[in-house]
Structure 1
Amino acid sequence: MLTPLKNRPWPLALAALLLSGSAVMAQEAPAATAKTGGFDTQLLLFWFLLSTLVLVLLVFVLVIALLVVKMKPLLRKVYELPTVHNTWSGQVLGLLIGDARLVRGEVKDELLDHDYDGIHEFDNDLPPWWKYGFYLTIVFALVYVGYYHVLQSGPLQGAEYEYEMAQAALMVSPDADDPNKLTTYQVLTTPADLSSGKTLYATNCAPCHGGAAEGKVGPNLTDEYWLHGGEVNHVYKTIKFGVTSKGMVAWKGKLSGKQILQVSSYILSLQGSKPANAKEPQGEKEAAKSVASR
């Protein structure tokens, strides 16, 4: 028969309530997992066990803290005993009652016979926390050198860099939406495609490049000079992904892939048309190619 909670010490009663709540959650976890269906059962179980462990640790720390608070007068009397006060275990006990001598060290009001321009030097050791930290760095350095350079069990910076670059390369999308991968389209030459490209150009491109592609804010598209390549796949890439640094918007998501190819093909069909008021050449010159050969 369980002891009523009201007859238990309240820290233990609190721990019992929390643990009983964890047991109830453990019983309900399979049903909840079955309802969701989309969650990984093992992952859900892992997080449940981890949260339960953290909860138990918090309860344990809380109980210890409450016991220390309750027993602080007795612990102080033990700490003040001459046989305990100056021992290492006594200093650990001092931390529990508020004496940080173990970490801070003892301050000696003893002056050395050194005198530098009126500045006197005290005979004080380095704080223990500083010395412990320094010792820890020495241990870390020895372990690091042994693990990476002597045993060669771990990868060095160069190997880690090469591995991360290889992983990054695997994450690059291989499809047509990858801006680093050039497409392999051919120029469309049918009158229907060029007519559709002309309509799309007049609606979306003419405000910046001019009605005859002579160039306004954007460059002239009828000469042999190109800023980002004049082959159909380079033009397709420029239209699809844009050049935000130069004000060229990306038409991906606004035009379909076929529409972008139609516009690209129409632009290339204007090569050598020499419209009036054409903008001066920009970019690098590329050899002229007929639409039929593209």
Structure 2
Amino acid sequence: MLAQRQLLLIATGLLAGHAAAAQAAETPAPAKAAVMSEQEILFWVLLGLLGLLLLALLFTGIIIVTQMKPQLRQLYDLPRVHDTWSGRVLGLLVGDARLVRGDVRDELLDHNYDGIHEFDNDLPPWWKYGFYATILFAVAYLGFYHVSRNGGQLQGAEYAAEMQQAALLVATTSDDPNLLTTYQPLTVAAELSTGKGIFATNCAPCHGASGEGKVGPNLTDEYWMHGGEVNHVYKTIKFGVTSKGMVAWKGKLSGKQILQVSSYVLSLKGTKPANAKPPQGEKEIAGKAMAKL
């Protein structure tokens, strides 16, 4: 009896040790901290040295200007230097800000209006040069975007190009709203009958029992807000239009059911039900959209 108990304890210990080992094996190892490569370390070291060099040059320049300020002042006061553009730049170093604020003469002009006098002072040069820069920018912009044939794209063309690029980045799967299907409308009576039942259950509360339109638009005329071809109707039903309250039926109806109800919706064209809602959207003729007058 004692031997059996010892064997039972040994077996229990072995099982517990095996379970603990398995649990330890399943526990993921802690992630190692990200370590910068030698190139990254060298880049930051060089960037730091460049910053220190620029600071040293700045302080050196400040010390030189401070020590040579009397000599620079004498040079600035020379008549052939004082009124030149380079002289005005030199004036910034000796405390004269004419290059920035312009000449301030404080001379009154010989006219006034309602007690308001006008001084004969220059506009600040930075303001004038900034204004000239806006003129040059406007001419360049007009030539590049509106005159040149190989110039930049305007807002509408740029948006269209970006949307095309975005469509290429989206996976072209059955759940891609940018991918239009290539279905043909169903014409078999049984399929249309099934679509009618789906419409009565899910669509009639917004579009009316006969498609005459209630909260949603009228589905029996020639006007469509998101396209009246079967694949456009299929896309509208599947993905919805949340901004206009149209529910997305993807995941609630199968692809075949969406095609059935889409085909039934197209079969309502020209039925002219009572109390039909006024047309909305664009008129489609022979596959082309025409704006409603």
TM-score by length of 1: 0.49
The structure number with the bigger radius of gyration is 2
TM-score by length of 2: 0.50
